[in-house]
Structure 1
Amino acid sequence: MLEYPITLVLLPGMDGTGSLFRPLIDQLGNGFDVRVISYPTEEALGYEALERMVLSSLPRGEPYILLGESFSGPLAISISAVRPPGLIGLVLCSTFAVSPRPAVTALWALVTAFPPRLAPTAAL
């Protein structure tokens, strides 16, 4: 039998911080024990590195639901496919199972070759 509240693990979209989940968390009240897994902002990581990071951050010894929003949808799908202990559900929110822009995906190696702090900025 499941005990309540269930843990809801939130994987953020492109911002990587999870701060955009605040309105959702406020509306959930005490219905869930919410955990947001934020991604590093000082380096660009690919899905494989992010998957390892998320897997090491998942709850241990308790049931949880994994929610992948936007960019994290494919990551959440991949993690649920390995069936980690405790995972009882998967929620996909405004996401895609494959890249909607394959040409951009082909350029990912170039993007990850340069640290974000070296990216050019537009002069206004």
Structure 2
Amino acid sequence: MKILLLPGLDGTGILFEDLTKALPKSLNIQVVSLSELSGETYYEQAESLNRLMKDENLLLVAESYSGRLAYELYKLAKNRVEGFIFIASFISSPSFISRFAKLFPIKLIKPNRINYWIINHYGFNGHATKEKIQRILHSIKTTDREKFKYRFKNIAEINDPTDKLNLPVIYISPDKDRLVGKKALKQLTSTFERLEVFQLPGGHFIAQAKPIECAKIIALTASQLSGKTNLS
């Protein structure tokens, strides 16, 4: 079974560095760069990813933006997907304000005092080190700008899924997530009949703030799925 790590809005996979270091070396892990996938919409990129992974059994680990990508990939791959782990993620609109995401001027995302405060407050609940904030700004700087714009558009236009799915699902939930609202989590609960929530202290960037804790949940889930053990 391959563990696919699907990154957040930056799309680079750079922000998974600490998480991958904390994961057991015995696991078969692949970090996906969204910029390397063809297509613009969630569905088109899921098609691209499905072609790349056509012979693999998968555990999908989706951070933030990539929740809907994982969901669309499952609809294509189905029997090859063993389960999901969502990290501060969503498959429907994450908040009311996200409907206006495509209007956001991404050129404003650059190192300055205001953006440091925004990332720290909304991403880390005010507890980030300067290094962690700089790493996020660096990952945004290195991403493909056109594809970055399309990700904002995808968030703004995301709809509510209607399928009911019955497979093992873990949701790693920050207790102070200021970017993904309760309604988005409620949609996940409605969609996945076997969803189990693990709450960790922190803000939206929980995989970066608590990589060891997240790695333990991923490793345990992979072990249980390999042994076909009931996660609940």
- Do both proteins adopt the same fold according to a TM-score greater than 0.5, normalized to the shorter chain? yes
Q: 1:107 to 1:70 in 2, by over 3 A?
A: closer
1:54 aligns with 2:49: yes
Q: Structure 2 unaligned segments of length 5 or more: list them.
A: 105-143, 150-232
1:77 aligned to which of 47, 71, 74: 71
Tell me the distance in 1 between the aligned counterparts of 2:25 and 2:91: 31
Is the contact between residue 60 and residue 85 of structure 2 (CA under 8 Å) also seen in structure 1? yes
Residue 83 of structure 1: how far off its partner (Å): 4.1
Q: 1:20 to 1:116 in 2, by over 3 A?
A: closer
SS in structure 2 opposite 1:84? helix
Tell me the distance in 2 between the aligned counterparts of 1:82 and 1:48: 9
Q: Which has the higher helix share?
A: 2
Tell me the distance in 2 between the aligned counterparts of 1:63 and 1:53: 16
Is the contact between residue 37 and residue 57 of structure 1 (CA under 8 Å) also seen in structure 2? no
Q: How large is the RMSD of aligned CA atoms in angstroms?
A: 3.0
Q: 1:57 to 1:21 in 2, by over 3 A?
A: same
Q: Structure 1 unaligned segments of length 5 or more: list them.
A: 1-5, 120-124
Tell me the distance in 2 between the aligned counterparts of 1:44 and 1:106: 22
1:116 aligned to which of 141, 145, 150: 145
Write the letter of the residue equivalent to 2:14.
S
Identity, % of aligned positions: 26
Q: Which has the higher strand share?
A: 1
The equivalent of 2:84 in structure 1 is: 90
